[in-house]
Structures are given as C-alpha cells and as structure tokens.
Amino acid sequence: MSLRRYFLRRLTRLEPPYVLNLLVCAVLVLAGGSSIAVLLPHFAASALYIHNIWFGEQSLINPVAWSLEIEVQFYCLAPLLAVLFSIRSTFSRRALLLGLTLLIGMIQLHYWDAGPRFKLSILYAIQFFLIGFLMADIYLVNLDRRSNGEHQQGKYQWDLVAIAGWLILFGLEDRQVWVAFPFLALTVYIATFRGVLMNRIFTNGLLVTIGGMCYSIYLFHYVLIPPILRLTANLLVGDPVGLRLATRALAYLSVLLAISCSYFVLVERPCMSKEWPKRALAWLTKFRRSTVALKPDAS
C-alpha cells in the first residue's frame, strides 16, 4: 500500500471538516467575550493537532478536539501497527493483540498519576485502537457472512450478553476503563453481531445513518451546549424540573441534528470522495478561465 496515498487520504478526508469547525467554534468563543490575541495560539495548535502536547490541556476552541489529536497520532502509527497482521497464525496474532491490550492497560494503571500531556496522548489510548484491530480481524475472518459465503443465524443468547455488556460498560469506574473496557467492548460488539434483536437495532437504517454522521455530530455536540442553554433559559419557567429539562434537551438535540446533518451533507460527505481535490481543482481552473474570458479586451 502506498503510504503517500494513505496519509493524503486521511488529510483530505478529515482536515477540511475539522478546520472549518475550528473556525466556527472560534467565532462562538469570540462571541462569548474572548479575544483574538488569546485564541490565536490555541487555534494554531489545534489546527496542527498539537494542542494536547503543547499546552497540556484541552483546546479552548473546541474542547472535544483532544480525542481527534489522539486519533491523528494513531493514524501516524497505524502503518507500523499493521505489521501485526503479517503474523499468519490467527491464534498467535490475536493472542498478541490481547496480550498487548492487557499489558498496556496494566502499565497505565501503574502510572495513573502521569501528567496531562501523557494522558492526552496515544500513550493512554493505544489499547482501544488495538482492540479495534482485533475486532476488525474477528469480523473479517469470522463474522462477515457475505465475505465468508455463509448464512449464519443469530442467536438470542448473544442478545442477553450484549445487553448485559452495554449496561456494565456504562457503569465502569475510571480506573476500570483502562483495563476492562477494551475487553468488555470487544465482547459487546461480537455479541451484537451474533445476536438477533441487537443486530436488528444496530443495523436499523435511521441509526446507521445517524452513526454515519458521528464525526460531524461529535465536532459540534459540545460547543452547542452553552448557546442552546442560554437561548432556552426562560423556557417553561416555573414548570416541573423534569419537564423543563426535557424541553431544553429536545431543543438541544433538534438544533444539534439540524446543524450536524447540514454540515455532513455540505462539508463532510463531499470530502468522503477520494476524487474531491481533483474535482475542486478542475472547477477552480474552469472558473478562472471563464473569468478571464469575460474580461473586456484592453486593446
């Protein structure tokens, strides 16, 4: 595989939506009373995916971008980590992935009080990516019915495992997350693929569509909370707390979905095409030529 094409694809797929989101978020932060002089260094660091390392804290522009910086670090390491798949033995390959995941989690627990620059880096997240590698391995070899040419029937016992697993996942304490979460997540996903009811839920068209927009939703979900809370502060004043909370939550979700859907269709989805840079360049060239052709002859 061409590493040049790999990195170029990552750049053209993720960078435009991310940078444009940073600009939008910067405007919102400026509207909240911050100054350009204060925000500019943070904007530059966030745009280059080095805010976690440089400042040792989440971005002031869009706080959730800390995880995207870790994601980029993973993309840089992915070609090296992919060497694990050169191991022909399925058992040895998966045992190594499981062993590395467990070992890294245990090491992180030992250095739990590490500084923020370490905790906001791939050093404190690599096991989640490794378990993703293992999930991809298991899916392609054992679970993808189309590629295997098999017609396996789901079983309801797996639904019970999946439901129990999801409930336990959200009940894990902080320290348990680093070691237990990857293995529990792997179990939950395998059970979901093999189950009947859970499989139907997670392959539902509406849920899959919303899941496909997760990048756009993630980019906007946090920064929209303060303005929506301010705009809905006087809704249902004096009514029960539960009703007021539900009303504000509905308003927030409606705005979030509207903005995220629009952003996905107009910005992110076009970037999913590998050919969009060529098409954009061709359009700019055509536009420039047409502009030149419309200019009056100076003679």
For residues 119-137, give the mean pLDDT: 93
Q: What is the pLDDT of residues 172-208, one digit of tens each?
A: 887 778 888 999 999 999 999 999 999 999 999 999 9
CA dihedral 134, 52, 50, 100 (to 10 degrees): -20
Question: What would the two tokens of residue 127 be?
Answer: 């096991």
The pLDDT of residue 289 is 79
Residue 102 pLDDT > 80, yes or no? yes
The pLDDT of residue 146 is 55
Q: Please state, in angstroms and rounded to a whole number, the distance separating the CA atoms of residues 83 and 133.
A: 11
Q: What is the pLDDT of residues 62-86, one digit of tens each?
A: 999 999 999 999 999 999 999 999 9
- 261 vs 240 pLDDT, higher one: 261
Q: Please state, in angstroms and rounded to a whole number, the distance separating the CA atoms of residues 219 and 17.
A: 9
The pLDDT of residue 207 is 92
> The pTM is what?
0.84
The pLDDT of residue 277 is 87
The pLDDT of residue 7 is 93
What does residue 223 show for φ and ψ, rounded to 5 degrees? -70, -20
- 144 vs 207 pLDDT, higher one: 207
